[in-house]
Structure 1
Amino acid sequence: MSSQSVLRTLPFIAISLVVVIDLVIGPTVGFLPLLTLGPTFASVAGGVRRTALVGLLALAICIPLAVYDGLLGKPQNNLTIATIIGVTAASMLASRLRNRRERELANVRLVAEAAQRVLLRPVPRRAGDLRIALSYTSAAAEAQIGGDLYEVVTTPQGVRILIGDVQGKGLEAVETAAWVLGVFREAAYDQPELAEVVERVETSLARHLSGEKFVTAILAEVHEREISLLTCGHPAPVVLRRDGGVHFAEPEEEALPLGLGALGSPRPKPHRVPFGEGDQILFYTDGVIEARDPDGCFYPLAERAHLLRGADPQAALDELRADLLRHVGGPFPDDAAMLLLRRNSG
């Protein structure tokens, strides 16, 4: 039985238990006021009309029970009847407000899903000799979008990748993510060098961001048997070798996050990492490695990377995401994006 079915039957279960207990024990304890549990539980999962009907049922049962207990017309029973009427009215109001809130959340989801389709377009599942898998988990379940961003584009220079994380949350973070993606999608085609793409994004963000806001990111470009990585304050990707080796592709020189170029730090050149047939590389945002279990332990990504060696990249990444959710064991604390690239082995 689903939780929704349980909630819908709970009012009748509560009323039935009160009736049975009262018939067995009698009027000495005074269980009749507990009939208000019926309309109270009804307001949790039912509408206004259903809540009112359950309240009328509780009232209809209260009167013959009062006769059975010899309480009809006494102040104690009159107070019980008034309590049932009052709780039913309050429950009807609560049900109305809950239904309105649910409709508002449904509208927010529709708008957010439309925004997500525009902002975070589906990445291609194949690009050249690459197979690509994607996983995105939002901490804001109602909105389904946040400050994490990703993109894969095929350009004259080859396949270029962006994954990043905007500082902060909410609509402002989403706006910044949209700005970065828009600039990257244009610059990735126009600029011959990956470092020039970064400069283009940095220049644009300097006009858009205010204060000390920033965006951590990794930009990548796939070459024959290699991949170039330019890290801007972002966690290093995990490289899974065909022979079973696993390591983090730490940058030789790390740049400041995007948006902090005014501090004067020079932009480093991309560094190349071997990326041959059968190799994989996992890009991710910090919501993955900073996810904690109930004991406060971070998610051990390197230890769980073996889950990515399944035959199908998307199925393997979905398995890793499921493992991450099991590790957290509750609501996800932060947005988490993962992008897996696998080089075909034949």
Structure 2
Amino acid sequence: MKVREPRTGTRRPGATGLLVLIPLAFIVLISAIDIASPPYVHLGPLLVVAPAITASFAGSRLTALIGSAAVAAQVLIGVFHGGLGTTNHEAQVAALMVVSAVIVFYCRVRERHGRELTHVRSVSDAVQEVLLRPIPEQLGPLLVAARYLAAEDEAQVGGDLYAATRVAHGTRLIIGDVRGKGLAAIGDSAHLLGAFRELAHHYRDLPALASALEQSFCRHLAEEVLADAGHGEHGERFATALLIDIPDASPVVRTTTCGHPAPLLLHDGRVHSLHTREPAPPLGMCELPDIRYPVETFAFEPGDTILLYTDGVTEARNRSRAFYPLADRLTAWTSAEPAGLLQHLQRDLLDHVGGRLRDDAALIALKRS
């Protein structure tokens, strides 16, 4: 899961205390040079640098204090250069006061926006916790790690989804990708995740589970169409999905693919694609009659690792427009534990794209212990 450190828009108190010495030094230096200079030399206007610098790292209160110190220094310079009664010094003091007030106002606006952004991030974190619940590091005999890589800086969730749940005979997982972006994609993801968490316990085999998810998702889309009536055309919406069933007692993995990329198996230092011969169409193809959901079984022995992913990984391009070679890169980390594997993979993927993904990506690594 994507983890972000909190940011408040200001520096730590210790760092701020050191940085405040810079504008204070400017005030002392400019004042000393101006007082020592001939009367026709006026360096006082440069004192505006002090509050301007302070605004780059401090809040409105400290900026106001530095601005007041700069105005006091300007008054002191006027006393030594012919008195404050001269028009030139009065204009300089007034101008410095106005500019300092504008800088303080800017700081207040920035602080308000910072608080609003912090609130938005906290809401985003809460939404992420509800939709993409953290997957335990161990599920039965499986060691598990998951990552969500958002394309947008301030986004925590999007159209990619994953979930895992323990059932009577083992562990079941879903990983998918909803078509589209924005609130509609988040709503579709939320519905699929909720439906999977409930239906996974009521169906013995994956085809029946996939069919139940299709019916549930189609009802959801029909309700969305009714809700959007009169608000414009309802765009095409569907979701690719991969359903995984891993029994505790058997060294196998069963998969049902609904238009989703095939998982990769890391076995004996090699990477194998678990292709499905007859993948089903994506979920949400509500007008297709008699959809078949074939299930395939693959060996999944102790020490093996399976990687589940969305197309945000394999379709990530570098500056030369080359796709990320996921299977080739995985050969370097076949012996890594799930958490370490995803850490290597995330770093390498971001290096490939130059530090920023163009589409969300989700990753799950499963190792049978």
Count of residues paired in the alignment: 341
State yes or no: 1:155 paired with 2:179: no
Matches within 5 A, 1:306-317: 306=331, 308-317=333-342
Matches within 5 A, 1:57-68: 57-65=69-77
The one-letter code sitting in structure 2 at the alignment partner of 1:324 is L
Q: What's the C-alpha RMSD, in Å, of the aligned pairs?
A: 3.2
Judged with a 3 Å threshold, the aligned counterparts in structure 2 of structure 1 residues 300 and 18 are, in CA distance, closer, same or farther, namely farther
After superposing the two structures, state which structure 1 stretch, 56-65 or 202-211, moved more: 56-65
Equivalent in 175, 194, 197 of residue 206 of structure 2: 194
Matches within 5 A, 1:1-346: 4=11, 12-13=21-22, 16-17=25-26, 20=29, 23=33, 32-65=44-77, 78-209=90-221, 210=225, 211-223=235-247, 224-241=250-267, 243-264=268-289, 266-293=291-318, 296-306=321-331, 308-344=333-369
| Displacement of 1:80 | 4.1
1:224-256 Cα deviation digits (max 9, x unpaired): 333222222222222211x21113323212332
Quick check: 2:172–2:246 contact (8 Å CA) kept in 1? yes
| Displacement of 1:13 | 2.6
Give secondary structure in 1 for the equivalent of 2:287. Answer: helix
Quick check: 1:155–1:188 contact (8 Å CA) kept in 2? yes
Judged with a 3 Å threshold, the aligned counterparts in structure 2 of structure 1 residues 145 and 33 are, in CA distance, closer, same or farther, namely farther
Structure 2 Cα separation of the partners of residues 17 and 272 of structure 1: 73
Quick check: 2:141–2:368 contact (8 Å CA) kept in 1? yes
Structure 2 Cα separation of the partners of residues 14 and 287 of structure 1: 47
Judged with a 3 Å threshold, the aligned counterparts in structure 2 of structure 1 residues 258 and 318 are, in CA distance, closer, same or farther, namely same
TM-score by length of 1: 0.83
The one-letter code sitting in structure 2 at the alignment partner of 1:158 is G
Structure 1 Cα separation of the partners of residues 140 and 128 of structure 2: 26
Residue segments in structure 1 that go unaligned for 5+ positions in a row: none
Quick check: 1:146–1:169 contact (8 Å CA) kept in 2? yes
Structure 2 Cα separation of the partners of residues 154 and 197 of structure 1: 15
1:142-190 Cα deviation digits (max 9, x unpaired): 4523332111122235321101122233333222211101111122111
Quick check: 2:270–2:331 contact (8 Å CA) kept in 1? no
| Displacement of 1:192 | 2.0
Judged with a 3 Å threshold, the aligned counterparts in structure 2 of structure 1 residues 338 and 96 are, in CA distance, closer, same or farther, namely same
After superposing the two structures, state which structure 1 stretch, 298-307 or 146-155, moved more: 298-307
Give secondary structure in 1 for the equivalent of 2:200. Answer: helix
Higher helix share: 1
Question: Identity, % of aligned pairs?
Answer: 41
After superposing the two structures, state which structure 1 stretch, 51-60 or 285-294, moved more: 285-294
Judged with a 3 Å threshold, the aligned counterparts in structure 2 of structure 1 residues 297 and 311 are, in CA distance, closer, same or farther, namely closer
| Displacement of 1:218 | 0.9
Quick check: 1:40–1:87 contact (8 Å CA) kept in 2? no
The one-letter code sitting in structure 1 at the alignment partner of 2:55 is S
Judged with a 3 Å threshold, the aligned counterparts in structure 2 of structure 1 residues 271 and 69 are, in CA distance, closer, same or farther, namely farther
Give secondary structure in 2 for the equivalent of 1:52. Answer: helix
| Displacement of 1:338 | 0.9
Judged with a 3 Å threshold, the aligned counterparts in structure 2 of structure 1 residues 66 and 302 are, in CA distance, closer, same or farther, namely farther
TM-score by length of 2: 0.79
| Displacement of 1:310 | 4.2
The one-letter code sitting in structure 1 at the alignment partner of 2:72 is A
Quick check: 1:140–1:146 contact (8 Å CA) kept in 2? no
After superposing the two structures, state which structure 1 stretch, 232-241 or 47-56, moved more: 232-241
The one-letter code sitting in structure 1 at the alignment partner of 2:363 is M
Residue segments in structure 2 that go unaligned for 5+ positions in a row: 1-9, 226-234
